[in-house]
């Protein structure tokens, strides 16, 4: 969401301030004109957080490239305000009924005045409608509106006082006026398009750099994966050897112990190990003494002949087959 907010704010920052103002927002500038005074003497103030700030007189303002909306406040040039009573049925076409009243009550036609009205009360019992009608002749403010237009201002509403209070005349058409030069509009559009294109371009560039970095690291990654697989295989192999050694006993330690236990001129012709029980086949000058030596060795237990002892063919010794158990603690 932070990226979305930044993206929208970036787009808005490229749009001119006058174009960013939401439609229907009241103008922050006020033009105050006195009756009988020249339009150039009208005073302009700017509303802000610290209150109203004087900007100068209308004749001193430089023309702006964009129409600036203002509120026109009239002093002394009062509006014609009357309370009129109409039939309740006139509400269906109140504009026509008020135009008739304007023709009847003033020397102006409805096209020659600005009109605003307020329904004060409805008398349903007598079928009457009480309306507060306010009119402001356009001729009274024509020069002032022309001067505002010349200075780059447009009145969005007019505030004028009368005998029956104050009236506010809205000028909705002025809100839609704009004098944005084509070059400025094209520049704003170009900047907006550029702002739209920058984030995707930056993202594409970042992705390209990331892909290049990944490609550069790919050989090292493959080597690391191969080493990791090799280390894992070695770990599994060592674990298997450890498990087998725990089950069968340490073969190297057993061979070393047998080498010490065998007397001179004794040798083995076959050796097997299963479930920590070793079967020794060989020839020795004294097979019985070999059993005694194995029984005395702390690495072995329960030595016994697995088959009868026979004499060798050359008569030089006993042919034996001895079965002996490896002690459980011989691996330590």
Contact status, residue 327 vs residue 301, Cβ threshold 8 Å: yes
Confidence of residue 229 (pLDDT cuts 50, 70, 90): very high
pLDDT at 325 over 80: yes
pLDDT digit string, tens, across residues 38-70? 888 888 888 777 777 778 888 777 776 667 888
Q: Where are the alpha helices (DSSP H) in 164-181?
A: 172-175
How many whole angstroms separate alpha carbon 228 and alpha carbon 234?
Answer: 10
Element housing 122 (H / E) = strand 113-123
Least Cα distance to 111 among 138, 132, 134, 140 occurs for 138
How many whole angstroms separate alpha carbon 184 and alpha carbon 37?
Answer: 36
Average pLDDT for residues 291-319, to the nearest whole number?
87
Least Cα distance to 306 among 329, 289, 325, 331 occurs for 325
Average pLDDT for residues 158-180, to the nearest whole number?
69
Q: How large is the C-alpha radius of gyration of the chain? A: 55
Q: What does the block give as tokens for 136?
A: 């402001």
Q: What does the block give as tokens for 192?
A: 């907006």
Q: What is the three-class DSSP state of 124?
A: coil
When mean pLDDT is compared across 48-52, 88-92, 95-99, 157-161, the lowest value belongs to 48-52
> Looking at the domain that runs over 251-326, which CATH code has it been given?
3.30.1360
Q: What does the block give as tokens for 332?
A: 């330590």
pLDDT digit string, tens, across residues 13-27? 555 554 454 444 445
pLDDT at 308 over 50: yes
pLDDT at 11 over 70: no
Cα 327 versus chain centre, distance: 68
The interaxial angle of helices 287-296 and 251-261, nearest 10 deg, is: 130
Handedness of CA 56, 58, 59, 60 (dihedral sign): positive
| C-alpha to C-alpha distances, 33 to 44, 130, 154, nearest whole angstrom | 9, 32, 14
Confidence of residue 305 (pLDDT cuts 50, 70, 90): very high
The phi and psi torsions of 171 (rounded to 5 degrees) equal: -125, 75
Every domain range in the chain assigned CATH 3.30.1360: 251-326
The phi and psi torsions of 284 (rounded to 5 degrees) equal: -150, 145
């Amino acid at each position: 969401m932070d990226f979305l907010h930044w993206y929208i704010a970036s787009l808005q920052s490229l749009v001119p301030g006058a174009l960013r103002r939401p439609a229907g927002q009241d103008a922050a500038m006020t033009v105050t004109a006195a009756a009988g005074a020249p339009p150039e003497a009208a005073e302009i103030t700017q509303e802000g957080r610290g209150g109203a700030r004087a900007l100068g007189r209308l004749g001193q303002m430089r023309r702006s490239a964009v129409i600036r909306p203002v509120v026109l406040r009239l002093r002394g040039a009062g509006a014609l305000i009357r309370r009129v009573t109409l039939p309740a049925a006139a509400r269906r076409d109140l504009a026509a009924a008020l135009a008739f009243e304007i023709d009847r009550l003033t020397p102006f036609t409805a096209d020659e005045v600005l009109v605003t009205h307020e329904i004060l009360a409805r008398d349903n019992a007598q079928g009457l409608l009480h309306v507060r009608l306010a009119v402001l002749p356009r001729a009274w403010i024509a020069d002032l509106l022309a001067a505002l237009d010349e200075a780059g201002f447009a009145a969005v509403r007019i505030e004028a006082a009368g005998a029956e209070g104050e009236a506010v005349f809205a000028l909705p058409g002025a809100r839609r006026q704009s004098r944005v030069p084509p070059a400025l509009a094209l520049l704003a559009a170009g900047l907006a398009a550029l702002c739209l294109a920058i984030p995707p371009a930056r993202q594409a560039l970042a992705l390209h750099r990331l892909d290049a970095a990944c490609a550069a690291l790919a050989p090292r990654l493959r080597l690391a994966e191969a080493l990791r697989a090799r280390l894992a295989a070695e770990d599994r192999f060592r674990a298997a050897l450890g498990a087998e050694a725990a089950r069968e006993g340490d073969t190297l330690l057993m061979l070393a112990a047998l080498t010490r236990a065998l007397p001179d001129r004794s040798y083995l012709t076959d050796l097997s190990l299963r479930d920590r029980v070793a079967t020794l086949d060989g020839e020795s000058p004294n097979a019985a003494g070999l059993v005694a030596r194995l029984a005395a060795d702390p690495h072995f237990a329960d030595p016994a002949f697995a088959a009868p002892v026979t004499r060798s063919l050359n008569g030089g010794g006993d042919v034996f087959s001895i079965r002996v158990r490896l002690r459980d603690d011989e691996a330590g």
